[in-house]
């Protein structure tokens, strides 16, 4: 047994013994006489004899602890040697084994502590084993501490190798991002919305205008069918309810209002109120609410202006083409509102861009001026008032005006 309290002074192997021990350990404690130089075999035998004096691991726990301590010491030495190859030693004066002794220890460990398998360094191996046997046995606490330090060193090396080629994340030096929108973000979004609106708004307006224009054209064509059907059932005449009066512009009074003549098409079911309306007029009704009604209730509900009659029984069918219906007149509307009258203004139904007119042949024309193609007759004014406007801008008395008996005189209202 090894006395734990006994302390020996360190004993160093000679250079030849250390070399022999190194070769013996490297050979796995299996000596090879053919590769051994002369005189080295006796050194190997001496080292093995020293090792043979150690008790078996199964018989002596002290040897097992010694083997553990030697193994851990070798591991630590290998790691220190690897570090020394990468970085210079911090303390040159630190104690260390010579190369021969280190080689002898390596050979012993590689040979599984079998002295008979070592070819070289027999004397060095024997001397080192003797020194290790004489060393005080490490306590359980010391051995555990050594194992923990060794495992910790190994784990540290694994961690350092795993992060050797890892790129460090770039850290922003600016202020941390805000959790919400900044004023700059809001301004950017608002600018994008404004630009998008500026681009899309004209397209939407034009699209809506085209839709309403097409719908009005279709409604007016449907009104042309209604006029033709009514004329067929009434000996070719136009619908007539109100008597000729100087108050033909008084919408809501079926006895005098000229719009009551147009309303008769809806009342007699030749057309619907939707056929007699313009989608651009938000006040125009599209269905009959009062079955007893004979006229629209007020002027804003009227979408179309009908050609004023010059005879008690005007005829729809004639050999000459003439205007029957048009988008509502801007002249009558402005006069009723007390506004300045512009005879050449377009109908308010289509944002001042023009107006549709229905001819007695059923065709529908789009005009940008109040004049038919190739004609000098203003459809908003009677011929007598047009002659007056050539010398004066006064349009007073339009309420009592009626078109002349000439087919060339077009005058629609109200």
pLDDT of amino acid 80: 60
C-alpha span between 329 and 306 (Å, rounded): 9
Q: What are the strands of the beta sheet with 304-307, ordered from one edge?
A: 364-367, 355-359, 323-327, 304-307, 412-413
C-alpha span between 317 and 7 (Å, rounded): 142
By 3-state DSSP, what share of the chain in percent is helix, strand and coil, each rounded to 5? 45, 5, 50
Token look-up 């229905």 returns: 358
10 Å CB burial of residue 399 (0-12, 13-18, 19+) is middle
| H-only helix segments in 14-60 | 15-26, 40-52
pLDDT of amino acid 58: 45
Token look-up 């075999």 returns: 41
For residue 210, give the H/E element and its range: helix 183-233
Token look-up 């729809």 returns: 316
Contact 136, 48 (CB under 8 A): no
Contact 413, 332 (CB under 8 A): yes
pLDDT of amino acid 5: 44
Q: E strands of 128-207, at which residues?
A: none
C-alpha span between 52 and 356 (Å, rounded): 126
pLDDT tens-place values along the chain, 414 residues long: 444 444 444 445 677 767 776 776 666 555 555 555 655 566 656 656 665 554 444 455 666 666 666 666 666 666 566 555 544 444 555 556 677 777 777 777 777 665 555 555 666 666 666 666 655 565 677 667 777 887 888 888 777 777 665 655 555 455 555 556 688 888 888 999 999 888 888 888 888 889 999 999 999 999 999 999 999 999 888 898 866 667 788 888 888 888 999 999 999 999 999 999 999 899 999 888 888 999 999 999 999 999 887 777 778 877 788 889 999 999 887 887 778 878 888 999 988 899 999 998 899 999 999 998 888 888 988 877 777 765 555 555 455 455 555 556 788 888
For residue 63, give the H/E element and its range: helix 61-86
| Cα dihedral across residues 6, 10, 13, 18: positive or negative | positive
pLDDT of amino acid 98: 73
Q: What residues does 366 pair with on adjacent strands?
A: 356
Token look-up 């013994």 returns: 17
pTM above 0.75, yes or no: no
Q: How far is CA 121 from CA 39, 49, 77, 105, 374, in A?
A: 11, 13, 19, 10, 130
| H-only helix segments in 289-398 | 330-337, 383-389
Could you tell me which of 294, 278, 322 has the C-alpha nearest to residue 286? 278
Report the 10 Å Cβ neighbour count for 188.
Answer: 12
């Amino acid at each position: 047994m090894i006395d734990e309290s006994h302390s020996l002074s360190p004993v160093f192997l000679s250079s030849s013994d250390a070399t022999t021990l190194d070769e013996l350990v490297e050979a796995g404690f299996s000596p090879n006489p053919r590769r051994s130089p002369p005189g080295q075999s006796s050194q190997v035998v001496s080292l093995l004899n020293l090792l043979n004096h150690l008790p078996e691991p199964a018989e002596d726990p002290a040897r097992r602890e010694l083997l553990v301590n030697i193994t851990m010491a070798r591991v630590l030495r290998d790691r220190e040697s690897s570090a020394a190859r990468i970085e210079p030693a911090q303390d040159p004066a630190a104690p260390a084994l010579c190369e021969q002794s280190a080689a002898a220890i390596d050979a012993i460990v590689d040979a599984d502590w079998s002295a008979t398998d070592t070819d070289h360094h027999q004397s060095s191996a024997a001397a080192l084993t003797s020194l290790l046997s004489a060393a005080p046995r490490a306590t359980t606490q010391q051995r555990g501490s050594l194992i923990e330090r060794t495992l910790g060193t190994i784990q540290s090396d694994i961690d350092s190798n795993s992060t050797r080629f890892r790129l460090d994340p770039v850290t922003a030096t600016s202020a941390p991002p805000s959790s919400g929108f900044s004023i700059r973000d809001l301004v950017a979004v608002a600018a994008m919305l404004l630009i998008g609106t500026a681009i899309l708004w004209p397209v939407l307006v034009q699209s809506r205008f085209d839709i309403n224009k097409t719908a009005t054209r279709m409604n007016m064509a449907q009104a042309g069918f209604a006029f033709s059907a009514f004329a067929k059932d009434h000996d070719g005449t136009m619908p007539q309810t109100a008597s000729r009066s100087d108050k033909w512009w008084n919408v809501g009074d079926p006895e005098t209002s000229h719009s009551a003549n147009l309303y008769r098409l809806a009342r007699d079911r030749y057309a619907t109120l939707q056929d007699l309306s313009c989608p651009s007029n938000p006040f125009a009704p599209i269905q009959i609410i009062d079955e007893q009604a004979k006229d629209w209730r007020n002027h804003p509900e009227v979408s179309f202006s009908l050609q004023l009659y010059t005879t008690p029984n005007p005829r729809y069918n004639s050999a000459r083409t003439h205007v029957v219906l048009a988008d509502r007149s801007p002249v009558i509307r402005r006069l009723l509102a007390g506004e300045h009258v512009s005879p050449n203004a377009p109908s308010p139904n289509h944002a001042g861009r023009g107006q549709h007119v229905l001819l007695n042949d059923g065709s529908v024309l789009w005009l940008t001026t109040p004049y038919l193609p190739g004609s000098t007759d203003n459809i908003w004014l009677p011929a007598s008032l047009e002659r007056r406007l050539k010398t004066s801008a006064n349009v007073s008395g339009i309420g009592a005006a009626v078109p002349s008996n000439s087919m060339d005189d077009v005058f629609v209202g109200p």
